[in-house]
A and B are shown apart, each in its own frame.
Chain A
């Protein structure tokens, strides 16, 4: 009987030991900064950095930069990337953990509204002193510098000039919407004979729809903003005055394309590849595509969204950013300092900033590397020629995910059947949806 009792005790001890082992294991995998923390305790001055990144395409670069920084300065940098389109979910849950991100992204006014209490005032910090412009910074209504831009980008219509010439046209013909329309429609009409088409596919799945609901929609917002003399905060409603111009360009895009409009809803056409392989002459996208595109289309250039607005011959590209750093106000001061040091290193170290610039676009910092991105240089050229920059009024989209989802659904119906009724629904989602989402957030 005694043996039984001993056996019971042994088993119980074993079970507790096993549980303890499990517990230790979960701790490890749950918080990658656990080791950094213990390091911190040993060295009271050193903090650690945890960057919650929102662009999957630059994850690899950031991981290697983090490793380099650790090598150079001995400070732990953890970079976690949220899966495409899930940044706000990831941020919400990460912020709740005991090791929240020290560095995260607040990319637009909506983000400022949601997260300003979690961000320190960056005014007069070491990183703010490195900036060469204030244009890409975000402030809250009290004038607190919530987040600062670390790069800016541009978008528009990417063109393959070689194909335009092959079709018997020149780039000089495309100086406004009429020119663009004439060229695109001519190419589309002769697509079979030429072996390529005008526009690459404008898929409406999640991996592509933002090019239209986020980017192209900007032309409507921008001209409204321009007329209103600039927006400083999200307007409660839109007038929809330039919806016809949006329709002009959107129609041109879906009706003169490799893919029939009705087939766009579920996507899967890989517009980038269509452009790279010379199957399409136009590709609606942004400067971040330069690296991917320039290898196959070395002459690729970017033109503004021509949409039939008066005076658009003087339009430039859409320049702006959603890449804005914010530093968490709810972590230790040592961590905040370590984070700011890391940011400064990223924008001043020649090698690190060169890597960042190559991936992200121009960095608006005094000592950052210069960009070799052809599209961004196009943007600079337009500005130098006295054209107006179309800023990213899109960043004001209220409740952006829901707003865009409704727009996608409406555009899907319209793509399948381009009737006036369906366009009216697009207009409702575009204009009234804005007011509705604005009220949902602020009401």
Chain B
């Protein structure tokens, strides 16, 4: 009787508590997502008068075919992949290194933690402009600019992202490092393990959950990067190809989709939508694969 009284209201009124969140999730995520997929099969100027491609005599996958045939999309894909890989490695190695140092009981490490974390609080567009000024301030001494060469743009963006993200990942790693059981470290010490042995055999396997989450975050961040890219180089320099078409050498996937959407005619908005759907599948797929892979290496205590 007592049990029933306690359970029934929950069963009866549970939807009231779940409802708002579920509704917000549907309105803010599920519905736009479904509409986005639908629009990728449409030709449209504004989303309210989209026409399905077959109804205007084109093939259903026309937008997808155009997206794949677009050389700038393919270029931005490889560029983004390279960027994500390099930034993934650099950010995580450096963040772990900094976190490791700051858990060694250095004086003032709390201050350092705060300072390292702060760049993460600045918005991407602002950061992009600030760093473009910094880079150009240096490069102008050599009579060039970050907009002049793709490699400057690439490394510039890497530096910017490291600066912004290392602090954030560092916090996660610090939490992971502090959770490594003291007795395990002590046991390693008594067994005569060297510092590097302790690090690689004891500490790192124990912070694997943090590594999972950090690599996941920095990988997807790398792929989804948009505002920093837009503000720092905006895709410059371009390669002007014969015939007048251009490849924006430092344009990443998200910016490419944005530029396709707003760049030209009504037909290209469907193409941009198709690119966006492929983009989603790519990021989601990569994220899941990576999660699955690193999960396996986590140790259970």
B29 within 8 A of A: no
Residues 1-35 of chain B, each 1 if its beta carbon lies under 8 Å from chain A, else 0: 01001100100010011001000000000000000
Shortest Cβ gap from B247 to chain A (Å): 10
What is the interface residue range for chain B against chain A? 35 or more
Distance, CA A280 to CA B6, complexed state (A)? 83
Q: Which residues of chain A are near B263, meaning CB under 8 Å? A: 399, 401-402
A435 within 8 A of B: yes
Distance, CA A71 to CA B133, complexed state (A)? 46
Shortest Cβ gap from A360 to chain B (Å): 26
Distance, CA A416 to CA B237, complexed state (A)? 12
Q: Which residues of chain B are near A114, meaning CB under 8 Å? A: 45, 265-266
Residues 1-29 of chain A, each 1 if its beta carbon lies under 8 Å from chain B, else 0: 10011001100100110010000000000
Neighbour of A262 across the interface among B45, B47, B144, B241, CB < 8 A: B144
A409 adjacent to B236 (CB under 8 Å): yes
Given A266-B132, A399-B263, A95–B46 Cβ distance below 8 Å? Answer: yes
A425 adjacent to B265 (CB under 8 Å): no
Q: Which residues of chain A are near B242, meaning CB under 8 Å? A: 428, 432
Shortest Cβ gap from A383 to chain B (Å): 35
Identify the stretch in B53-61, B116-124, B145-153 within 8 Å (CB) of chain A at 4 or more residues.
Answer: B145-153
Residues 407-443 of chain A, each 1 if its beta carbon lies under 8 Å from chain B, else 0: 0111011001000000001001101111111001110
Shortest Cβ gap from A439 to chain B (Å): 9
Prevailing SS type, chain B contact patch: mixed
A434 adjacent to B240 (CB under 8 Å): no
Distance, CA A129 to CA B165, complexed state (A)? 61
Shortest Cβ gap from B173 to chain A (Å): 35
Q: Which residues of chain B are near A96, meaning CB under 8 Å? A: 46-48
Residues 75-89 of chain A, each 1 if its beta carbon lies under 8 Å from chain B, else 0: 000000000000011
Shortest Cβ gap from B244 to chain A (Å): 3
Distance, CA A408 to CA B236, complexed state (A)? 9
B227 within 8 A of A: no
| 209-262 of chain A: CB within 8 A of chain B | 260, 262
| 177-234 of chain A: CB within 8 A of chain B | none
Q: Which residues of chain B are near A1, meaning CB under 8 Å? A: 2, 5-6
A265 within 8 A of B: yes
B9 adjacent to A5 (CB under 8 Å): yes
The residue in chain B whose Cβ has the minimal distance to the Cβ of A4 is: B9
A436 adjacent to B243 (CB under 8 Å): yes
Neighbour of A433 across the interface among B246, B262, B265, CB < 8 A: B246
Q: How many residues of A contact B (CB 8 A)?
A: 46
Q: Which residues of chain B are near A412, meaning CB under 8 Å? A: 145, 147-148, 236-237
| 28-51 of chain A: CB within 8 A of chain B | none
B301 within 8 A of A: no
A406 within 8 A of B: yes
Q: Which residues of chain A are near B9, meaning CB under 8 Å? A: 4-5, 8
Given A89-B262, A428-B244, A416–B13 Cβ distance below 8 Å? Answer: no
Shortest Cβ gap from A154 to chain B (Å): 29
A440 adjacent to B264 (CB under 8 Å): yes
Distance, CA A419 to CA B132, complexed state (A)? 26
Shortest Cβ gap from B288 to chain A (Å): 32
B244 adjacent to A15 (CB under 8 Å): no
Residues 257-278 of chain A, each 1 if its beta carbon lies under 8 Å from chain B, else 0: 0001011011010000000000
Shortest Cβ gap from A276 to chain B (Å): 24
The residue in chain A whose Cβ has the minimal distance to the Cβ of B145 is: A265
B109 within 8 A of A: no
Shortest Cβ gap from B98 to chain A (Å): 31
**Quick one: which of A92, A113, A406 has the most chain B CB within 10 A?**
A406
The residue in chain B whose Cβ has the minimal distance to the Cβ of A442 is: B265
Q: Which residues of chain A are near B241, meaning CB under 8 Å? A: 428
Q: Which residues of chain A are near B145, meaning CB under 8 Å? A: 262-263, 265-266, 412, 416
Q: Which residues of chain A are near B245, meaning CB under 8 Å? A: 433, 436
Distance, CA A1 to CA B244, complexed state (A)? 77
Q: Which residues of chain A are near B163, meaning CB under 8 Å? A: none
Shortest Cβ gap from A202 to chain B (Å): 15
Distance, CA A15 to CA B240, complexed state (A)? 57
B143 within 8 A of A: yes
Given A4-B9, A409-B240, A431-B244, A399–B16 Cβ distance below 8 Å? Answer: no
> What residues make up the interface of B, taking CB atoms closer than 8 Å to A?
2, 5-6, 9, 13, 16-17, 20, 45-48, 132-133, 136, 140, 143-148, 234-238, 240-246, 248, 259, 262-266, 268
What 4 A-B pairs are tightest by C-beta distance, nearest first? A432-B244, A436-B244, A409-B238, A433-B244
| A–B pairs, 23, beta carbons within 8 Å | A1-B5, A12-B16, A12-B17, A16-B16, A114-B45, A262-B140, A262-B143, A262-B144, A265-B145, A401-B262, A402-B246, A406-B238, A406-B246, A409-B236, A410-B240, A412-B236, A413-B148, A416-B143, A428-B243, A429-B244, A432-B243, A433-B240, A436-B245
